[in-house]
Every structure is written in C-alpha cells, then in structure tokens.
Structure 1
Amino acid sequence: MEKRKYLVVVDPSHERHLALERMLEIVRQERKWDLEFHLIMGFEIGDKTDTETPMEVVKSSAWFEDLLHPLDELGVSYTTEYFWTRDWRQSISNAASRYDCDTIMLCESSAEHKSGITDSKWDLVRRSSCDVVIADEGTTAPIKCILAAVNTQQQDDAHVGLAERVLERGIFLAEYFEADLHVVNAYKDSENFPDRSLIRRMSGLARENVHRDMGKPEDVIAGTAEKVGADMVILGISPRKGLSATFSSRTVEKVMEKISIDVVAIS
C-alpha cells in the first residue's frame, strides 16, 4: 500500500483555499492508500500587530472553523499547526522535515500569475527536497488528464533519474485519480530530437499519449497541456547547480506562469 504524507499550507491572505480543495478531492477518491495530512498556517511577522499567539488568532476566527468544516464532515484525520514567522519558506521547509512529509501542497492565486510566483514560494519549490504541489484555479474536480514533462535528451544519471521520478509520479497520480496520462518532451532543433520509443518504454504509454514538439519548453508544455486538456502538469526541477540551475529553474517558472492548472514540481 502506497503511503503519502501531505503538508497542506493554508494562506490566510487568500480568499479561496485551493490546497484544501485539492486535499478534499484526494480524500473523496476513497482509494486504499495510507494518507496523512498536516495542515499548517503561517502568519508573516509583519502581520503581527498585537501580542496574541497564532492559536489565539485562529480560535477567535470563525472563518477558520468554517474552512475546516468540510474536512470534519468527511471524517478526515489531520493535525494542525500555526505560527508567526520572519522566513515563510524556511518555516514551511522545517515543518515538512519535522513531520517527514513527502508532498507540500500550496495555493496559487490569479494575482501571482500577473507578476510571477512570489519569491518565497518559488524559493520553496526550487529548494524543496520533496514534491511540491501548487494548486491553481484552472483545475476543477474531477482530475481527468495529467501531463508529465520530461527531457530525455540528457542521458547523465541525474537527468535520467529526474525523468524517471517525474514519470513515476505521473503514473501514480493517473492511477489514483483514474485519469489519462500524457507525456511531453520539448526539443530545440532536429539534432536534439527525443526518442519516442525510449519515452514509451519508460512510461508504458501508447504512442498517441507521447508528444514531441520543437520550441521553447515553456511554450511546448503549455501548448500540449491545452491540447490534451490537462488538469495537472508534472515538472522536474533540474539537478544542476550554480548558474545553470538558475536558468533551468527559470524555465520551470515560465511554464508555471503560462498555465493556470495545478503544477507538481519534482526534485
């Protein structure tokens, strides 16, 4: 039985809590997987205008009880944590490590699409040692189609391992949600053409579910997501370090800015 431990981040500044909605969708599938959920709400230190503790603030807010009501109705077992923080990313990372979570779930907002994902969220995605799901408003239940983006042209151990992890997560999520799985591989020119048979062997997918297109990765991935009607895109964070890692990470960030559906970042 697959076991997954989720850290679900509740952002009090958001009106709609997409990470919680996605958590509910996961629970409603009623699959026979062992799932654990830890809900965490962080308050930036700049928001602290009095001496109340985070727990006192939450207890005095009826809205948070309303927020958790659907979870309680379903009988979901979860734990909660509240904190003030000067470093949002580090606090979330520490919580994920403390509870040994393998997936962090965040909430996207339409305002962030206009100016790019916030620095603290992007830094968390880039540096996280576990999967990070950024739930976005373009994804609605049920999840019917998942797109996994890979780069099979790079054949060093690190990149091959990353592609395998992306496909492995795609296969798991497609099975869990009973969704169709597609794979896309962008390439820059004819000398950089990806091997379809290799992708099929790695993924076990039919020919029509494997897509190869020439162009910038962010354009190819976003275009393919629209073409297949994807509800979720799985992306790999490059294992490279230094300046090359920065450029690679920016590519992933550009993909996230071009689509308005859930993104699963795999490192």
Structure 2
Amino acid sequence: MQKYKNILVVADPEKEQQPSISRAVHIAKMTKDVKIVVFLAIYDFSYEMTSMLSSDERDAMRRGVVMQREEWLKEIIAPHLEQGIDIEIKVVWHNRPYEAIIADVYSQEIDLLVKATHEHDRLGSVIFTPTDWHLLRKCPIPVLLVKGNNWPEHGKVLSCVNISTDDDTHDGLNDKIVKESLAFASIANAEVNLVNAYPATPVNITIELPEFDPASYTDAVRGHHLTTMKALRQKYGISEEQTHVLEGLPEDIIPQVAEDIKAELVILGTTGRTGLSAVFIGNTAENTIDSLNCDLLALKPDGYVSPLSPNLD
C-alpha cells in the first residue's frame, strides 16, 4: 500500500465531524511518507451580488470568509498534526466544487481523492447533479467515497468485476480492481471477495421464439461467468469461497453481497460516461452508491482522460 503518497481530502463545510479526514489519516498511519491535503471549495452568491461594494471590498469579504474556514479546518486537523501526520489545508473560493477539486488533483499530482458522501434524492440528482457524481464521472484518479463507519481489523473488501465480455478495457479494469482490492486489504488485514452479476434471460426472447430453452440459456450464461471468474480468482490466489457469481443487475447484487459478507469497502470501475445516457440511465457506480452502507472506491480504466484535464485546453 505504498502507492498513495499524496491524498486529497474534500472537507464537508456543513458538518463538524469529518469522516473523510479520519479515513485518510487511517490510511496514512498504516503506510509511510503520506501527505494529506484537506481541501475546501466555498462560494456564496450573495457576495457577488452586493453592487454597493467595490470589487476590492468584495475581494476582502471573500478573503475573510476563506480565512474563517481555514481557522475552522486548523482546529480539526490539530490533533492529527500532534500525532505526526503530514497534513495541510487549502481553502479556495469557487462556485463549482468538483472543478476546483479536479484542478487541484492535477496541480498537486494527487494519487487518491477521499470524500464523505450521503444519500441523494434520486429525482433531485437528475436536475442538480451532486458533486459526488461529477467526481465519479470526471476525476482521473481513484475516488474513495466514505460513509462514516471505521474499518475493522480483519474485515472484508468486495471487488466488483465485469466478466461478461471479452473486452481489453474491461479485462484491464478487472485486473486493476482486483490489484487495488488486494492493496487496500493489506491496510487492515482484510479479506478480498469478488462479485459478478450476470443478466437474467430476457422475457421477450421466450415469447418471440417458442422453441427457445431459457433454462439451457441461463445455464450457459452462468457457466461462462463461473469459468471466467475461476480464471480471474486463480490468477490472484483468491479462494472459491470468496467469489460470488449471481443472477441479477449489478446495482442490486453488489449491495446485497456487500451486506451479506459485511464488507467495509466496495471497489468497482466506472468508465466516466457523460451526457444524457449518464443522467437518465446512470453508471453502475452511481446506481449502487446510495444502497451501500460502507465505503466505495471507484476506479477509472488506464488511459482515461478527464474532460477537465488541463492538457485538453
């Protein structure tokens, strides 16, 4: 677990308790030479609408708000500094937090982004996309979304793999997910489990093709997934008892298995889909996150380029 040297932690301005900071500090304690930056982007539109003030006066007011938040964060990180954790703070004035976060990821060569999350209203999320969703889609590095519970010793990590297609991108992402799971598991001597969901037989096929045998079809699909999962688990020395191949949708199966095995961390891949398909259909990560009672680590495939990358300018 030596790869994470620079961790960016997104603070929640609405809460006194900061589980994201606690999680980053936990990782730092279990590894060596880790630097943590606690980041907060703040914005108040009312400061921009005060026409009676000059631009200098508005700047001074904004600086005052930033300084207040800096002092607040200094109090929060003080106990961690006393324990020898390398931790600093950064507060910026920005009206789009996710853009400010991703810009800082690039400017500081961050390895891991840690942010606390909570349940989102599904309908509201279609209209007002939460920062979490933007980060899942557009952040180029691993995003660890923290629900708040502490990681127990000898707990369980659930790796969500996609073995339904022979696709180089999915194969590479599967390998990345399993390797990441093994690395995270080493922090707390945790057990790695693998999960894969395969689709049920489409009802319309049995109606349109009377001679179609749904039982044979289901057996063939399950057999393919079991064989492919066996090859993947054997590649990384994971036992059969720690693999789960179930029929259903990933957004249903993943939370179910995570609850059954009492996982403290779920790791999955997200391809960063954007546009209308992402808004109305949603990525697996987005459909899954609110149903989990544990942390979620979302990974991008190798070679992913964020639409907010400074190299695209």
TM-score, reference length from structure 2: 0.75
Q: Which amino acid aligns with 2:42?
A: F
Q: For 1:243 and 1:188, locate their aligned partners in 2 and report how far apart those are by CA, in whole Å.
A: 24
SS in 1 for 2:298: strand
Decide which moves more: 71-80 or 207-216: 71-80
Q: Which runs of 5+ in 1 are unaligned?
A: none
Deviations 1:168-195 (A, max 9, x none): 1101001122111111011113243312
Q: For 2:47 and 2:118, locate their aligned partners in 1 and report how far apart those are by CA, in whole Å.
A: 23
Change in Cα spacing, 1:80 to 1:184, as seen in structure 2 (3 Å) is same
Please show how residues 56-205 of structure 1 align to structure 2 within 5 Å. Answer: 56-59=67-70, 61=71, 63-110=72-119, 112=120, 118-137=129-148, 139-142=149-152, 144-189=155-200, 190=218, 191-193=220-222, 194=225, 195-205=228-238
Compute the displacement of 1:153 (Å).
1.8
Compute the displacement of 1:58 (Å).
2.4
Compute the displacement of 1:199 (Å).
2.3
SS in 1 for 2:252: helix
Change in Cα spacing, 1:92 to 1:211, as seen in structure 2 (3 Å) is same
Question: Equivalent pairs: percent with the same residue?
Answer: 25
SS in 2 for 1:7: strand
Deviations 1:140-173 (A, max 9, x none): 2325211110011222111111111111110100
Larger radius of gyration: 2
Q: For 1:164 and 1:145, locate their aligned partners in 2 and report how far apart those are by CA, in whole Å.
A: 18
Q: For 1:174 and 1:40, locate their aligned partners in 2 and report how far apart those are by CA, in whole Å.
A: 26
Deviations 1:44-84 (A, max 9, x none): 3437586131542225x4x4333112211211112321111
Q: Which amino acid aligns with 2:221?
A: N
Compute the displacement of 1:241 (Å).
7.3
Aligned twin of 1:219: 252
SS in 2 for 1:52: helix
Compute the displacement of 1:116 (Å).
7.6
TM-score, reference length from structure 1: 0.87
Q: Which runs of 5+ in 2 are unaligned?
A: 49-57, 201-217, 301-313
Q: For 1:244 and 1:155, locate their aligned partners in 2 and report how far apart those are by CA, in whole Å.
A: 23
Q: Which amino acid aligns with 1:44?
A: Y
Aligned twin of 2:40: 41
